[in-house]
Amino acid sequence: MQDEPIDKETILNELSEIHKLDYNYADGRILGSMCTEAHPFAKEVYCKFLDTNLGDPGLFKGTKHIEGEVIKSIGNLLSLENPYGNIVTGGTEANIMAIRAARNHARKYKGIVDGEIIIPDSAHFSFKKAADMLNLKIVEAKLDDDYKINVESLREAISDKTVAIVAIAGTTELGLIDPIEEISKIAHENNIYFHVDAAFGGFSIPFLKEAGYDLPVFDFSLEGVCSITVDPHKMGLAPIPAGGIIFRKEEYLQVMAVDSPYLTVKTQSTIVGTRLGASSAATYAIMKYFGKKGYSKIARNLMDNTYFLKEGLEEIGYELVCEPELNILAFNHPKIEAHQFAEKLDNLGWKVSVAKCPVAIRMVLMNHIKKSHLKELLEDLKKIY
């Protein structure tokens, strides 16, 4: 840090120069991100609540009430009347909280010390962080040819050390939904904690189902489901950071509670101490602003764009890795290896990512991608083919 103060103007100019290095969602070139530009109204509300701290809810009773209302709305959307949970920084923190709840619950009620979690190959890497921090062993369930959990392999992976089973509603790489109903039964029969990671799909599957899309059940209407992760900062159009963790029972929060001596409340179950109330307020506002009808329109529009790109790709001759279930497409070039293909697209200004399982170009059709961008993209893809 320099000794003398610098005037605002100079600082702002410097920052906007550096900011130019960042890509812009509005340019329609970011095709590999699960985040998007937040809605302007959500940003406006976010700024109004910047000083609120949900780590000390006795001082921010209003904002704590707002967080409770958001959890209730999201829980209701997921078929749970009395949900418990928190608005956290994202899917990663939500997944870590779920696994921590499962581990502590199994330790308290089953005496499991060296616990294991069963996750599919397609699971988000946040579960590796969770296992590492919580000292749990990862047991991987195999995938079927359709890249969803092989239920038999999952059944075989269960042991008397299993503290949690994880399945995914909207995988990070392909946007696919695991056979959650079957897995829920298995978890319930074996009395094992079952967590559904719907970080990506949570703000779209319920609305698509209501609009008549043929998608499987994934929520609390299945009795085995103990918790669900949902990210408002993906298809919910809330500002970053906003993740949601919803628990079926309060006891899952209680088994994580630690004493919080200097605060206005006696215990705390979240991982983070001082934490944003702005995320809760912005998510509250944007959910009210859109309502089910608004989100349904967004979700259907994203699927329309996905099918538009799919048809364009197939017309050129590209082969998709799988039929899309949500707004993610993965495909390969007949001759060029995926990473080289991604580099070619990068040189043309398209920011795509490469999936690992299977190796393929992956495009996420978020709200900032418009049909006009897709038309331009298809022109470039035609030239490369």
Q: For the segment 279-308, give every residue that binds ligand PLP (CB under 6 A).
A: none
Q: How far apart are CA 127 and CA 130, in angstroms?
A: 5
- In the complex with ligand PLP, the residue whose CB is nearer, 129 or 161, is 129
Question: What are 290's two structure tokens?
Answer: 């859109």
Find, among 96, 112, 186, 109, the residue nearest to 149 by Cα. Answer: 186
- Note whether 126 binds ligand PLP by CB under 6 A: yes
Q: How far apart are CA 101 and CA 247, in angstroms?
A: 9
- In the complex with ligand PLP, the residue whose CB is nearer, 231 or 325, is 231
Centre a 10 Å sphere on the Cβ of residue 8 and count the other Cβ atoms it contains.
Answer: 8
- Note whether 325 binds ligand PLP by CB under 6 A: no
- Note whether 199 binds ligand PLP by CB under 6 A: yes
- Note whether 80 binds ligand PLP by CB under 6 A: no
**Which residues are CB-neighbours of 308 under 8 A, at least 6 positions away?**
371, 374
- Note whether 116 binds ligand PLP by CB under 6 A: no
Among the candidate windows 18-26, 74-82, 164-172, 314-322, which touches ligand PLP by CB under 6 A?
Answer: 164-172
The only residue of 56, 116, 178, 231 in contact with ligand PLP, by rule CB under 6 A:
231
C-alpha 89: how far from chain center = 11
Q: Give the chain's length.
A: 385
Smallest gap from Cβ 199 to ligand PLP, in A, equals: 3
- Note whether 92 binds ligand PLP by CB under 6 A: yes
- Note whether 91 binds ligand PLP by CB under 6 A: yes
- Note whether 68 binds ligand PLP by CB under 6 A: no
The only residue of 197, 227, 237, 290 in contact with ligand PLP, by rule CB under 6 A:
197
Smallest gap from Cβ 12 to ligand PLP, in A, equals: 29
Burial of 300 (0-12, 13-18, 19+ CB in 10 A): middle
- Note whether 173 binds ligand PLP by CB under 6 A: no
- Note whether 200 binds ligand PLP by CB under 6 A: yes
Q: Which residues form the interface with ligand PLP (CB under 6 A)?
A: 34, 90-92, 95, 124, 126, 168, 170, 172, 197, 199-200, 231, 243
